Amino acid sequence: GWLNTTKLPLRNQNGDVLGTMGISREITSLKEAQDKLEDEHRLLEVILNNIPDRIFVKDRDGRYLASNQNHMDFLGVNSQEELIGKTTFDYFPRELADKLVAQDAKIMETGENLLNSCEGAEGAGGRLSWTLTSKVALHNSVGECIGLVGISREVSEAVAKGL
């Protein structure tokens, strides 16, 4: 099992060390829970960064909280740190950003998910990209909406072929 141990010198009135005093606490279940969380975090990271879709998370104010690599590549962003705190207005033309922000607000206010909405947007480098986008409200442990999760699947090739 795992133990968390703290030891201190035990001194007499003159300050001489007579020995040690220790407190140990058994933390095996805590360590196992921590290991499980780390495993789940690694699994989520592998999924997010290897799935071909663009995945993003926004807070109630529309600020990006997280994004997978495909979404960052689409936006022309080099790192999570560069993206976090920015909004749709930082990456899209005003008219499209207004539409997307209104869409996000409706999802967070009503809890009605958006599923497979076909959208066209210009990504980094000016390339037009057609996607099927789904967005769902993100709730905390007490059921309050704290943002949304979005997933966009590239379908430009199918749109170009008229499928």
Q: Rounded distance, CA 150 to CA 142, Å?
A: 21
Contact assessment for residue 24 and residue 3, using Cβ atoms and an 8 Å cutoff = yes
**37 burial via Cβ count (<10 Å: 0-12, 13-18, 19+):** exposed
Q: What is the tens place of the pLDDT at every residue in 94-133?
A: 998 999 999 999 999 999 999 999 887 777 677 778 889 9
Helix (H) or strand (E) holding 23: strand 17-26
pLDDT, position 53: 94
Q: What's CA 5's distance to the chain center, in Å?
A: 35
Q: Which two tokens stand for residue 152?
A: 């966009």
Which of 151, 147, 153, 152 has its CA nearest to residue 65? Answer: 147
- The answer on pLDDT for 81 being more than 70 is yes
- The answer on pLDDT for 163 being more than 70 is no
Q: Rounded distance, CA 106 to CA 121, Å?
A: 20
114-122/128-139 β-pairing: antiparallel
Band of residue 138 on the pLDDT scale cut at 50, 70, 90: very high
| % residues pLDDT > 70 (the chain) | 95
- The answer on pLDDT for 159 being more than 70 is no
Provide the whole-model pTM: 0.73
Question: Tell me, what amino acid is at 108?
Answer: M
Q: What is the tens place of the pLDDT at every residue in 32-77?
A: 999 999 999 899 888 888 899 999 999 999 999 999 999 999 999 9
